[in-house]
Amino acid sequence: MLALTLTADLTGVTDVLPLDTADQPYFYTFKVQCTSCRETHPNWVSISRFESTEISGSKGEANFVWRCKACKRESTASIKDAPKAYTHASPPTRQTIIEFDCRGLEFTEFQANGEWMAKGLETPTKFGAIDLAEGEWYDFDEKSSEEVSIKDVKWEIRRA
């Protein structure tokens, strides 16, 4: 099991999570490495919890099935549950966003492509279309008349 974790400095917002619904799936984008021969795939790969592929020679399915070009071994990854929201903490703490059951592969880097959302910390304001690809995001909460932000975004892939 691997977990994608986030550490970020939140100002005026909480419950940061990817927009990940059946109608608008989030594609988690990673660099992938074979655990057998340690070859790293040269391209970024994407995985969605709403798509599954059959595993060859098995009756099972996985969200991501990959055959290593170097050693020809087939590997799989499945998303265990819906993503968990990153909540406001002072000082910022590392929190798990999503977990993967990986067999024969490891995710080594994460790219935050896609839309994220958040809620106002002390207001009912909902923020959508948040782009965390650059590692920070700024907006203004009309209800509190304050600037809100997500800064110092750090992604880590850890053993769960």
Each residue's pLDDT tens digit, 128-143: 999 999 999 999 999 9
User: Does the pLDDT of residue 116 top 90, yes or no?
Assistant: yes
pLDDT of residue 58: 78
Q: What is the pLDDT of residue 89?
A: 94
Would you state the structure tokens that stand for residue 113, as one six-digit string?
């492509």
Q: What is this structure's pTM?
A: 0.93
- Over the stretch 47-56, which tens digit does the pLDDT of each residue have? 999 999 999 8
pLDDT tens digits along 19-76: 999 999 999 999 999 999 999 999 999 999 999 999 988 789 999 999 999 999 999 9
The token duo for 68 is 């290593």
